[in-house]
Structure 1
Amino acid sequence: MRRENRVKLIIIGLVPVIYILNIILEGLPEIVEKYYSTTINKFIREALNMITGWLPFSLAELLYYFLVALLIWFVVTTVVGIFKKRFINRFVNLLCYLSILYILFMVLWGFNYQRQPLSDTLGYSSNSFITSDLYNLCDHLIERANILRAEQVEDEKGVTAVPGGYKEVFTRLQDSYKQAGKEYKVFSGHYGSAKAIAISPLMSYTGITGMYMPYTGEANVNYNIPPFMWASTAAHEMAHQRGFAREDEANYIAYLVCSFSEEEDIQYSGVFLALIYSMNAMYREDQESYYQLRDKYSQGLLRDMKYNSDFWDKYQGRAEEISNNINDSYLKGNRQEDGVKSYGRMVDLLLAEYRDNH
């Protein structure tokens, strides 16, 4: 067997080894936290950001297009190989390509799915919650949102605007993370700012608001979303950048980090995100209480909620459905067995924080 083929087979053979290792590490979250997430992987993530952080554009986006094009090329040549009696060699090439992507994904970031729960890291109590706890949380968030909303700049439609633009928001979030890092060391580190995705308007049709690229260490944001969601969305992707892989935890970190900001537009973005998730949970739990709480929204907050809802209604369609199915499979593939439903677990972290502080 040629040396080239032996190397390819070794690479392909590493996939089941890493997959089994990932399953084993699922039962060893403290080990992953100590020896991977906060040490080896943190070094890797910061090193990647030293290389890509200074770039004014998203290298991740360009790399994504290249990797997809390369995948298409491998698939096409494999199919053509059926008719030229080269199928086996070209199929091995395709498997090798996919294996390299998987191996790099896991080494550069993927094992973070098995790190210890964020509630343990932050020292939150893990008591069970009742409906009244959720009601009190929502009431608290509504009060905060109303106060912060009164301080926001409005556009001609009476909706919250962010005059400085998304680039300024991304820059200011660095300070928010710096402040959060003083309180919680796991958020500290040297990372680049979030970056806008060039095809954001098209990306909106998928329902995706952002993307973290493990191969470059960049946090990427769909800038086409409502401006008052720029900060919380960027903070979410920057949480992935800091090694927090679970979507529900990244959502909570986005809220928490925005709360550390001294600027009210960033605080509002975080509280708005938390309020959406908490009120959705309240609606599922007790609709009568949900409508009682909703009556407490200020007029400005109501306008922003309607604008956010109307915005996403425009982009609903087949592309979003396909994207959601892919994302669901991706989450389950990384052993988040609830798939996209895991996004709702953010509320447990909000409840834990609220109970510990009130």
Structure 2
Amino acid sequence: MGQKIKTIIAIALPLQIILVKWVGSYPEFIEKYYSNALYPGISWFLRTLFGWVPFSIGDLFYLALFILAGRYIYIYRKSIKKKPLLFLKDIVVVLSITYFAFHLLWGMNYYRQPITWKLGIEKEYSNDELVTFTQYLAERSNHYQAKITRDSIDPVKIPYSKKEIFKKTKDGYALLKESYPSFEYKKPSLKSSLFSLPLTYMGYGGYLNPFSNEAQVNGITPLYRLPTVSGHEVGHQLGYSAEDATNFIGFLVTVRNEDVYFKYTAYSHALAYCLSDLSRKDDIKFQEIVEQLNPGVKKNFKEVSEFWKQYENPLEPVFKSIFNTFLKANNQQEGIKSYNSVVGLLINYHDKYTF
């Protein structure tokens, strides 16, 4: 690639950023012409292209880029020292191309209408509503835990493999589309990430590869959490970028599933979010509801907590901070806290539709 072309591509980066922010200020336009017109075709094509492959093509793509970047720096290290500005230009060129591909293939969904607009609900809720809803989730979690284990003591053990969980997630979306046709999941591409161990050390349950449109699930996450995590990542594939939206979609598709294990994981996962919120707002009510939980439910919570504890490391906050900055730069003002905003969606949706 000639220096003139590189210069043009590099100059295009700030222009792209300005254009994206400007177009993104019109969510109605993004919703109509990108999220519901251009993006569905792009995602269908990418999932058709890569979805049939049993392993993650996107992960291999990232690995190849990492190796090639390291090889480039090593081979041209002397010229980089002599001409650092040209090397800096090369970096900007890569960033410019990546920025363009990211927003074309998936990223403009960050600027679409919020899911509250689509469902006709709000996100605000009172403390009393939080307490009532958390009590409801605790009752539902106790009910399904006892139904599955036939006692209140034992934790629920998911009897499925990851492959079976992925299939049941797809089946759940087939049921969900009967109520919400826009959630139809065509050409599935749901896989266990090749980088599951690094993802765990970083504190992530999965991610969507925007360049291959593969939903990547952390394959070493406890099976108890995989149904809602899988539903969450597929929600990203369907064009919902906001983390609270995909947390909600992950809950909805899992709780609507006919499988009793999926219903339990949905209710108990939602309960964990609500208990976390309640612990900050009303510790007395928090303690009261925790005491009402079956020992088996508590053991499932402990299982997940101990899993993440064993992978805690000094770099995890750094990764979370980077992701927090990334989210804020992409129209999610709450950053990583947006995951917990699912509580408002759950409460208001339940008030309107019940589940």
- Pairwise same-fold verdict (TM > 0.5): yes
Alpha-carbon distance change, 148 to 25 in structure 1, aligned in 2, over 3 angstroms:
farther
Deviation at residue 263 of structure 1 after TM alignment:
0.5
SS in structure 1 at match of 2:52: coil
Find the aligned partners of 1:339 and 1:72 in 2 and give their Cα distance. Answer: 31
Counterpart amino acid of residue 15 in structure 2: V
Alpha-carbon distance in structure 2 between the residues aligned to 1:294 and 1:20: 49
**What is residue 23 of structure 2 aligned with on the other side?**
25
Given that 1:53 and 1:193 are in contact with CA atoms closer than 8 Å, whether structure 2 keeps it comes out as yes
Q: Check 1:259–1:76 CA distance in 2 against 1; reply closer, same or farther (3 A cut).
A: same
1:357 matched to which residue of 2? 353
Question: After superposition, what is the alpha-carbon deviation per residue over 1:205-227, rounded to whole angstroms, capped at 9, x for unaligned?
Answer: 21111011010010011121111
Q: Structure 2 matches for 1:308-323, cutoff 5 A? A: 308-323=304-319
Moved over 6 A (4+): none
Alignment deviations for residues 297-341 of structure 1 (CA, whole Å, 9 cap, x no partner): 112111111111111111111132222122112212213222211
**What is the CA–CA distance in structure 1 between the aligned matches of 2:209 and 2:162, rounded to whole Å?**
19
Between the aligned partners of 1:319 and 1:224, the Cα distance in structure 2 is 19
The percent identity for this pair of structures is: 30
Aligned counterparts, 1:268-307, within 5 A: 268-307=264-303
Q: 1:173-193, CA deviations, whole angstroms, 9 ceiling, x for partnerless residues?
A: 111111112211221141324
The aligned residue for residue 126 of structure 2 is 130
Distance across 2 between alignment mates of 1:25 and 1:153: 52
Structure 1 window deviating more from structure 2 (296-305 vs 70-79): it is 70-79
2 CA distance for matches of 1:72 and 1:341? 34
State the partner residue of 1:91: 88
Higher alpha-carbon deviation: 291-300 or 72-81: 72-81
> Contact 1:194–1:238 at 8 Å: present in 2 too?
yes
Structure 2 residue matching 1:227: 3-state secondary structure: coil
**Amino acid corresponding to residue 107 of structure 2 in structure 1:** G
The alpha carbon displacement at 1:33 in A equals 0.8
Which of these residues, 106, 126, 129, is aligned with residue 109 of structure 1?
Answer: 106
Q: Distance in 2 between matches of 1:279 and 1:55?
A: 39
Conserved in 2, the CA contact under 8 Å of 1:78 and 1:90? no
- Aligned partners of 1:74 and 1:93 also within 8 Å: no
CA contact (8 A) 2:123 2:345 kept: no
2:53 paired residue number: 55
CA contact (8 A) 1:252 1:349 kept: yes
Greater Cα offset, 62-71 or 300-309: 62-71
CA distance in 2: counterparts of 1:214 and 1:150, whole angstroms: 40
CA offsets per residue over residues 219-260 of structure 1, 9 Å max, x none? 011121111101101111111111111111111110011122
Q: Distance in 2 between matches of 1:82 and 1:62?
A: 27
Letter in structure 2 aligned against 1:100:
I
What is the CA distance between 1:22 and its match in structure 2? Answer: 2.2
Aligned partners of 2:329 and 2:79: how far apart in 1? 30
CA RMSD across the alignment: 2.0
Q: Does the 8 Å CA contact 2:328/2:334 hold for their aligned counterparts? A: yes
User: Once the two structures are superposed, what CA deviation does each residue of 1:141-161 show, in whole Å capped at 9, x if it has no partner?
Assistant: 11111112223369xx94322
Kept in 2: contact 1:170–1:194 (CA 8 A): yes
Counterpart of 2:67, as a letter, is: A
Q: Deviation of residue 55 (structure 1)?
A: 0.5
1:219 is matched with 215
Note the 1:332-343 alignment, pairs <5 A: 332-343=328-339
Contact 2:141–2:297, Cα closer than 8 Å, also in 1: yes
Change (3 A) 1:158 1:80: farther
Residue 70 of structure 1 is matched in structure 2 by 68
Structure 1 residues 276-298: Cα deviation after superposition (integer angstroms, max 9, x where no partner) = 11111111111111111112211
2:216 partner SS: strand
Q: What secondary structure does 1:116 align onto?
A: coil
SS at match of 2:200: helix
Deviation at 1:82, TM superposition (A): 4.0
After TM superposition, give the deviation of residue 270 of structure 1 in Å.
Answer: 1.8
Residue pair 1:49, 1:191 contacting (<8 A) in 2 also: yes
